C-alpha cells in the first residue's frame, strides 16, 4: 500500500534555481528517507531524517520533517543539470516496512 | 559501482519461459529485498529476506519465486509470466532489517523485464 505521496509529480526549473519537493504520508513512522533515481538506473539514497528530527542538511540538500502534519520537504539549492532525475520519499514504518511514493520527476533546464 | 549488482540488465521472455534474475551484494548487509517498479506506480515491495530467511511475501503471485542461498545472493525465479509483469525489478540490501536502526537501502540498477 502506498504511504508517501510526492508533490508535484513533475517539476521543471532553470539551472541555478532552487527545487522544492514535498512528501505526505499517512501513518506513524520511524524515519523518512529521500532517494534519487536517474533514468534506467537504481535508486540512490540521499538523506534519512529520523522521526524526532525536524531538519537535516547534506551538501545542497535540505530536508524538513513535520510529524504533526505528516509531511516532509526536500530542497535542492542552486540546481545543476546533473540533478535531473526522479526523487522519491520513503517512509520507514513501525512494522519494519519501507514504503515508497510515486516520485517527483525533476528537470533542470539549461 | 553501487555495491549491489543485478544481472541481467535486460531480459525479454515469452509467457511460457522460465528465467531467473540474480542479485549480489558486496556490502556485508544482512537484509535483501526485491521491488517491482512499473510506470506511474509506486515501488512495490515483493519479498524481504533477513539473514537468508524470508520475512515478507507481499501477496506476490506464485509465478514469482525468490531464493536466498546466502546473505550475499538473492534470486528471483520467473515462470509463466504475464505481459503485465513487464517492469523494472530492483534488488536492494540494507545493513539490518529493522527500520528502527535507520539503515538505508542500497539498490542495484535493476533488470528491465519485458514479457511478450
Tell me the chain A residues in contact with residue B41 when contact means C-beta distances shorter than 8 Å: 102
Give B1's contacts (C-beta < 8 A, 6+ positions apart): none
Is residue A4 a contact partner of residue A101, using CB atoms and an 8 Å limit?
Answer: yes
Could you read off the pLDDT of B83-100 as tens digits, one per residue? Answer: 999 999 999 999 988 776
Could you read off the pLDDT of A51-61 as tens digits, one per residue? Answer: 999 999 999 99
Distances from the Cα of A43 to the Cαs of A65, A96, B13, B28, B81, in angstroms?
Answer: 21, 19, 25, 19, 25
Chain B touched by A77 (CB under 8 Å) = no
Distance CA A62, CA B55 (A): 34
Task: Name which of A1, A9, A6 is nearest A71 in CA terms.
Answer: A6
Tell me what pLDDT residue A97 has: 81
Q: Please state the φ and ψ torsions of residue A81, each to the nearest 5 degrees.
A: -55, -35
Collapsing DSSP to helix, strand or coil, B100 comes out as helix
* Cβ-defined contact of B105 to A41 (cutoff 8 Å): no
Number of other residues whose CB lies within 10 A of the CB of residue A15: 14
pLDDT band, very low/low/confident/very high, at A1 (cuts 50, 70, 90): very low
Tell me the chain A residues in contact with residue B107 when contact means C-beta distances shorter than 8 Å: 35, 42-44
Number of other residues whose CB lies within 10 A of the CB of residue B56: 17
Q: Is the dihedral of CA A34, B45, A92, A5 positive or negative?
A: positive
Give the minimum alpha-carbon distance from A59 to chain B in angstroms, rounded to a whole number. 18
Report the residue from A43, A96, A102 with minimal CB separation from B41. A102
Give the minimum alpha-carbon distance from A30 to chain B in angstroms, rounded to a whole number. 6
Residues of chain B contacting A, Cβ within 8 Å: 2, 4, 6, 35, 40-43, 45, 56, 90, 92, 97-100, 102, 104-110, 112
Q: Which three cell numbers stand for residue A56?
A: 537535516
pLDDT band, very low/low/confident/very high, at A40 (cuts 50, 70, 90): confident
A-B interface: how many C-beta pairs under 8 angstroms? 64
* Cβ-defined contact of A41 to B109 (cutoff 8 Å): yes
User: How buried is residue B13: exposed, middle or buried, by Cβ count under 10 Å (0-12/13-18/19+)?
Assistant: middle
Mean pLDDT (chain B) is 91
Mean pLDDT (chain A) is 92
Amino acid at each position: 500500500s502506498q504511504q508517501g505521496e510526492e508533490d508535484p509529480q513533475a517539476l521543471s526549473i532553470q539551472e541555478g534555481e532552487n527545487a522544492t519537493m514535498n512528501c505526505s504520508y499517512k501513518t506513524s513512522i520511524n524515519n523518512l528517507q529521500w532517494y534519487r533515481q536517474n533514468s534506467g538506473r537504481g535508486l540512490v539514497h540521499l538523506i534519512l531524517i529520523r522521526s524526532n528530527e525536524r531538519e537535516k542538511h547534506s551538501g545542497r540538500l535540505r530536508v524538513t520533517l513535520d510529524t504533526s502534519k505528516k509531511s516532509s520537504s526536500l530542497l535542492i539549492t542552486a540546481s545543476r543539470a546533473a540533478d535531473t532525475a526522479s526523487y522519491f520519499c520513503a517512509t520507514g514504518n513501525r512494522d519494519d516496512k519501507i514504503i515508497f511514493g510515486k516520485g517527483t520527476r525533476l528537470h533542470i533546464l539549461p | 559501482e553501487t555495491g549491489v549488482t543485478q544481472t541481467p540488465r535486460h531480459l525479454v521472455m515469452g509467457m511460457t519461459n522460465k528465467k531467473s534474475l540474480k542479485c549480489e551484494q558486496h556490502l556485508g548487509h544482512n537484509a535483501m529485498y526485491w521491488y517491482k517498479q512499473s510506470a506511474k506506480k509506486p515501488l512495490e515491495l515483493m519479498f524481504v529476506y533477513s539473514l537468508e530467511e524470508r520475512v515478507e511475501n507481499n501477496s506476490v503471485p506464485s509465478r514469482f519465486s525468490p531464493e536466498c542461498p546466502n546473505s550475499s545472493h538473492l534470486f528471483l525465479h520467473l515462470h509463466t509470466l504475464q505481459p503485465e509483469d513487464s517492469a523494472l525489478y530492483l534488488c536492494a540490501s540494507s545493513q539490518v532489517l529493522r527500520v528502527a536502526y535507520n539503515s538505508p537501502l542500497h539498490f542495484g540498477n535493476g533488470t528491465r523485464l519485458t514479457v511478450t
